[in-house]
Amino acid sequence: MAAQGLPVTIRRALPLRPLILSIVPAASLSAQAEFGSARVAVMVHNAGTDGTIAAARLVEAYGLTAREAELAVLLGKGEDLAGAAVQMALSAGTARQYLKQIFAKLGVQRQAELVRLLVASFPQE
């Protein structure tokens, strides 16, 4: 059994790629509206290609706005908040506000928790 928050790999016969199974909090308002009282979501996807997270997947999975998702992707790639703000042409205050909204929607309290959740939710995407 995998440790809490770590994805599980399900191997399949070649030529199929392995499946990645992740269990993540269903903390966003959109997830609660769609799934009622669900506390977690089980996400299954093919082992991926380039290791990046698509912003559209974050919008879909967690109800983030496009700009919140863009910020989350940059943070997930290892960018610090100040650097991400510059890349997105945001003020530091706006970037902090987006980060607070991301934390609330994903049910995390720290940037490290956010990155860990993103990696567990969308491994090798």
Q: Is the pLDDT of residue 68 over 70?
A: yes
Q: Which residues lie closer than 8 Å to 92 by C-beta, 6 or more apart?
A: 81, 82, 85
* Sign of torsion over alpha carbons 13, 18, 19, 21: positive
Q: Is the pLDDT of residue 25 over 80?
A: no
Average pLDDT, integer, range 4-29: 66
Neighbouring C-alpha atoms within 13 Å toward the C-beta of 40: 10
56: three-class secondary structure by DSSP: helix
Average pLDDT of the chain is 77
Strand 8-10 with 19-25, pairing: antiparallel
Pick from 11-15, 26-30, 108-112: least confident? 26-30
pTM for this entry: 0.62
With 70 as the cut, is the pLDDT of residue 117 above it?
yes
Q: 23 or 124: whose pLDDT is higher?
A: 23
